[in-house]
Structure 1
Amino acid sequence: MADRPTLKPWIEAIHAYVPGKSKAADGRPLVKLSANENPLGCSPKVIETLAGGHEPNLYPDPDATQLREAIGALHGIDPARIVCGTGSGECLHGAVQAFAGPGDEVLFSLYSFSLYPLLAHKVGAEVVLAEDADYAPDVDNMLAAVTGRTRVVLLDNPNNPIGTFLPRAEVERLHAGLPKDVLLVVDQAYAEFLPEGEDDGGMDLAARHDNVLVTRTFAKAYGIAGERVGWATGAPHLIDALNRLRGAFNVTASGQRAALAALSDQDFVAKSRDANAAARARFVDQIAALGNHGLRALPSEANFVLVVFEGDLAATTALDAIAEAGYAVRHLPRQGLPQALRVTVGTPEQMDAIAAVLRDLCGVSA
């Protein structure tokens, strides 16, 4: 008999989620370009709303009724087909927990959101990684990896940490190739950064099929990461499953109020999208100019750029130099990317500073 409670073996094998760094090894605070936060902050309407205060002794609306109605009005979705979570992470956890367990498989592309393995391991399911195509998710490879034990397929689109985007036709092809009893989760955490009018069709699939769930977050383009608000939409039985598993009173009163205010300011979202696109494009051009030195910026439709170091300059050397200059970016060896750095798109000045460090390391003058 054990002398203390023992963990389930699949829980003991979990490595806890590692957030982006904000301090140097010596404790110096760094400009945090490692967590994909919005450099513009959030809408002034959010600040005004939160400054108004609330009654912290009262529980929030357990069903986030007003927030679901506002999300539904913006996206043309029946609020009954929406569930809100403590970030989109809670919705993702619920989706995997509801439909996978020991003996089952959870499938996603080799380079995907670092939370995904934790989702599978938490329920004792096996992780299956589909081979990439130049780092990006590949529909043919994902479909080839499906087996009779596959229960959930996770697709982050745009992808994190790569930043690539699968267009509507490819997402539809992925869904069409899956057995009907396999849940496809389209994680659209970065969808608001897509060019206006661009859409992967996930919402349409979720509206028409019983095995598609779409998740979104207020942490990125809306800029309220600290309030931890996300949501999901899908068929009624999928929403029922997530409602059974989510925490009671999971979205705080301030989170609901902040998200409502954020939704009401779509001009801020557009401003965030446009500023991100401009700063990202300028940074990508600066990295392209260092191509002869082995640096490559992978295509990105998100608010970050993955820089791959394919020459003599090592990613770890660049990481240290960038930290010395006062910036934190994300090194991802645990995700199989020791040769890459993910750089959150900050202000133009911040991106120019990162590019200057890389030029210096390559011996290139401005």
Structure 2
Amino acid sequence: MSLQPRPGLLDITPYKPGASAPEGAVKLSSNENALGCSPKAAEAYRMATQSLHLYPDGGATKLREAIAEAEGVDAARIVCGAGSDELLQLIGRGYLNPGDKVVQNEYGFLVYSLVAKQCGAELVSAKENAYRADVDTLLEAAGEDAKIVFLANPNNPTGTYIPESEVRRLREGLPEDTLLVLDSAYTEFVDAPDYASGMAMVDEFANTVVTRTFSKIHGLAGIRLGWMYGPSEIVDVIHRVRGPFNVNLPAIEAGTAAMGDREFLKLSKTHNDDWLAYFHQQLGGLGYDVTPSVCNFVLVHFSDTPGQTAQDAERFLAERGLVVRGLAPYKLANALRISIGEADANRRVVEALEAFKAQAA
């Protein structure tokens, strides 16, 4: 008899990242930082190559202290990981049992589904309102027995957010023993006055954690680095299920340098603000339905008409060296997610979609 994996694992569809760009093409499928990463982070990474024979600090102490200083929080309540993806999986490993209920919003990040299925838990998706998470439907879905509620705020792939008051209403409406995971991967891009990352809520409410990443505004997607801030009891559990050296030495050094480079963050934010507005204005002017985004990407909707669908547009863009993200796995088959790129790439996207609309008319 052949060796069999745990029941349910073979039903999981592995996560498919944004497509890579062939030589000469531009990749706009993974929401990477168009400006690269901080020069200080790159130099710290290079310097770390002189110490590759050494084990990293298993507690990532230097990095946690840099994060704590920048964010004004307690370093002891920070856990670092190989991207926020790993931390989401560690949360599942630490708290989910087969049959437990996990809740997400309708177009929530695909990793939440993977976390639930890997642990044998039941995933329930709550309907959104105009591509925004809806607290009422989340509370209804959670009921009295949800073990974990995942909320990406802002959300990927829609680019939308809900205000701090609504996040608080969600936490206050959930049972005290339901863990609320606020995935704030894109928080640095948002300056709306009614938005908050959720960090303060961790100090005010039990069973609430925030996950953050270095992959987006910091431009360090290639080294896989993220962090979580939570109550001491939950942090202790995550330490017990993570690997002893889950963050490598160059990542610790690069992340520490990145946290201190506020100028690079400012440049990245300014670039994104300018070109996000450009996409909304230009694509909206061409007649495309673009969901209002506060992130470093836009969600563009297409027609059901043959020759004018999202799949047709994706192929049209690819033929012109522009690789974007199709969203069929998110049940958004007639939409594309397009990352903010460098200036020339952004202009090429608009020109290509103008040509697509013209030839489809």
Alignment TM-score, normalising by the size of structure 2: 0.95
Matching residue within 24, 32, 46 for 2:27: 32
Unaligned runs of 5+ in 2: none
Unaligned runs of 5+ in 1: none
1:45 paired residue number? 40
- For residue 29 of structure 1, report the CA deviation from its aligned partner: 5.3
1:102 paired residue number? 98
Deviations 1:66-108 (A, max 9, x none): 1111111111111111110111111111112222221111100
1:176 paired residue number? 172
| SS, match of residue 102 in structure 2 | strand
CA contact (8 A) 1:308 1:341 kept: yes
For residue 248 of structure 1, what is the amino acid of its counterpart? P
2:246 paired residue number? 250
| SS, match of residue 134 in structure 1 | coil
Counterpart Cα distance in 2 of 1:47 and 1:106: 38
1:333 paired residue number? 328
Counterpart Cα distance in 2 of 1:283 and 1:305: 8
Matching residue within 303, 306, 309 for 2:299: 306
- State which drifts further: 210-219 or 138-147: 138-147
Shift in alpha-carbon separation, 1:138–1:197, aligned structure 2, 3 A:
closer
Counterpart Cα distance in 2 of 1:301 and 1:190: 8
| SS, match of residue 349 in structure 1 | helix
2:3 paired residue number? 5
1:236 paired residue number? 232
| SS, match of residue 93 in structure 2 | helix
- For residue 162 of structure 1, report the CA deviation from its aligned partner: 0.2
- For residue 35 of structure 1, report the CA deviation from its aligned partner: 0.6
Tell me whether 1:317 sits opposite 2:312 in the alignment.
Answer: yes
Matching residue within 269, 290, 296 for 2:289: 296
- For residue 147 of structure 1, report the CA deviation from its aligned partner: 2.7
CA contact (8 A) 1:36 1:345 kept: yes
- Aligned-residue CA RMSD in angstroms? 1.4
- State which drifts further: 200-209 or 148-157: 200-209
Counterpart Cα distance in 1 of 2:44 and 2:130: 44
Deviations 1:120-176 (A, max 9, x none): 000000110000112221111111111333100000111000000111111111111
1:358 paired residue number? 353
For residue 74 of structure 1, what is the amino acid of its counterpart? A
Aligned residues: 356
CA contact (8 A) 1:163 1:304 kept: yes
| SS, match of residue 127 in structure 1 | strand
Counterpart Cα distance in 1 of 2:263 and 2:298: 24
Shift in alpha-carbon separation, 1:170–1:9, aligned structure 2, 3 A:
same
| SS, match of residue 222 in structure 2 | helix
| SS, match of residue 128 in structure 1 | strand
Deviations 1:182-214 (A, max 9, x none): 000000000111127664251111112221000
Matching residue within 198, 204, 210 for 2:200: 204
- State which drifts further: 144-153 or 71-80: 144-153
Shift in alpha-carbon separation, 1:201–1:188, aligned structure 2, 3 A:
closer
Q: What are the within-5 Å matches in structure 2 for residues 47-86 of structure 1?
A: 47-52=42-47, 53-86=49-82
Counterpart Cα distance in 1 of 2:192 and 2:54: 39
Matching residue within 207, 211, 215 for 2:211: 215
Counterpart Cα distance in 2 of 1:129 and 1:29: 39
- For residue 330 of structure 1, report the CA deviation from its aligned partner: 0.2
Counterpart Cα distance in 1 of 2:9 and 2:354: 44
Matching residue within 12, 15, 19 for 1:14: 12
Counterpart Cα distance in 1 of 2:218 and 2:120: 34
CA contact (8 A) 2:185 2:216 kept: yes
Identity rate, percent = 41
Q: What are the within-5 Å matches in structure 2 for residues 110-129 of structure 1?
A: 110-129=106-125
CA contact (8 A) 1:82 1:232 kept: yes
- For residue 310 of structure 1, report the CA deviation from its aligned partner: 3.6
CA contact (8 A) 1:171 1:201 kept: no
For residue 45 of structure 1, what is the amino acid of its counterpart? K
For residue 20 of structure 2, what is the amino acid of its counterpart? S
2:130 paired residue number? 134
